[in-house]
Structure 1
Amino acid sequence: MKNNPFKTVSKLFLVVLTLSFFYTSFAQQQSIPSHQQNNFWQNVQFGGGLGLSIGSGYTDISVSPSAIYNINSVVAVGTSLQFGYVSARNNFSSTVYGASLIGLINPIPEIQLSAELEEVNVNLKYKNNSPFNSENFWNTALYLGAGYRTGNVTVGVRYNVLFDENKNYYNDAFMPFVRVYF
């Protein structure tokens, strides 16, 4: 029986979520005034990314909303959804959708370290004289990254430690990023 990577990501998400609630419930047992105990939504930040690239016969559109929960001033955990569409005229078109789990650590306010487990489904449709008509596969990536943070914006680079150039949606293991949370 083939192992389904989406189920693996789902199980990992449940473990992270459970540990987050365990940590939160432990914190609530301290003597905290009741007006400060219901601050879950005060610790949630929303953000994400939008991308649009249009050129001569080329279109790339991406949307990736995300949310994080700030456990404290140093550690945050969250999740993100991805959707993308790429088309190169007379060559191929592709749709991508999936999700990721995000862990952020800010050892000092200006530096942000990150780990992100991403699972996306890739649907490729080839045009012209390609030996393949279409291809559909799941792509798993584990990114480790570092960035410079100022206010709600972080700019940095991340590296996919699971990168396989023979079976990967992305061209390179290194990827720059801009992360914004409000």
Structure 2
Amino acid sequence: MKKSAFMRVSKSISLTIILFVCNNLIAQQQPSTSKSRSDFWNHVQFGGGLGLGFGSGYTDISIAPSAIYNFNEYVALGLGAQYTYVKQRDYYASHLYGGSIIALFNPINQIQLSVELEELRVNVNLDGSNSNSQDYWNTGLFLGAGYRSGNVTIGARYNVLQDNKSVYSDAFMPFVRVYF
């Protein structure tokens, strides 16, 4: 293909892409009169967790935002993201990041049952040794139960996929869950 023909084809493709993107942007800016769109956000709750741990040469920082959609007063489904940085001076530094899907069931107002599938990428760098660094995926499947009061649930969850390579030292762990 000659250079001039190639330029005409590339300009035509570029123009088509620009028009397509602009059309979608304009369509998204038009005010919605649909009740279902505004009703969707009435069922969404946001929450998450923050964690800070410091000690003698030890640092642990976590952030985990999440959102759930309440289908009704009994069932909710949500997504979450997580990032954690852990460092033990003169030993290792690690970065964990990933996401999760959570299903919440409230058989009665005060009881909340949960199932959460979590997938984390783990990067561990041992100080002084590149050959011992580790990069792997960690999967957790948590079954939980808690006492719910308003937007706060306090309970415990159990990782049924816990093994020796798990990022958690124990399969059983308490939690505090808050959604606004």
Instruction: Kindly indicate whether the alpha-carbon contact (under 8 Å) linking 1:152 and 1:180 is maintained by their aligned counterparts in 2.
Output: yes
Letter in 1 for 2:104: L
Aligned Cα RMSD in Å?
A: 1.7
Match of 2:133 in 1: 134
Match of 1:156 in 2: 155
Q: Determine whether 1:181 maps to 2:179.
A: yes
Return the alpha-carbon distance in structure 2 between the equivalents of residues 37 and 100 of structure 1. 25
Q: Structure 1 137/35 Cα, relative in aligned 2: closer, same or farther at 3 Å?
A: closer
5+ long unaligned stretches in structure 1? 1-33
Shift of 1:123: 0.3
Give the structure with higher Rg (CA): 2
Letter in 1 for 2:80: S
Return the alpha-carbon distance in structure 2 between the equivalents of residues 136 and 176 of structure 1. 27
Return the alpha-carbon distance in structure 2 between the equivalents of residues 173 and 103 of structure 1. 19
Shift of 1:132: 4.5
**SS at 2:39's partner residue?**
coil
5+ long unaligned stretches in structure 2? 1-33
Matches within 5 A, 1:1-182: 38-128=38-128, 132-164=131-163, 166-182=164-180
Shift of 1:127: 1.9
Letter in 1 for 2:147: Y
Shift of 1:107: 0.6
**SS at 2:42's partner residue?**
helix
Report % sequence identity. Answer: 62
Deviant stretches of 4+, over 2 Å:
34-38, 130-133
Residues matched between the structures, number = 147
Q: TM-score, normalised by structure 1?
A: 0.77
**SS at 1:163's partner residue?**
coil
Instruction: Kindly indicate whether the alpha-carbon contact (under 8 Å) linking 1:127 and 1:133 is maintained by their aligned counterparts in 2.
Output: no
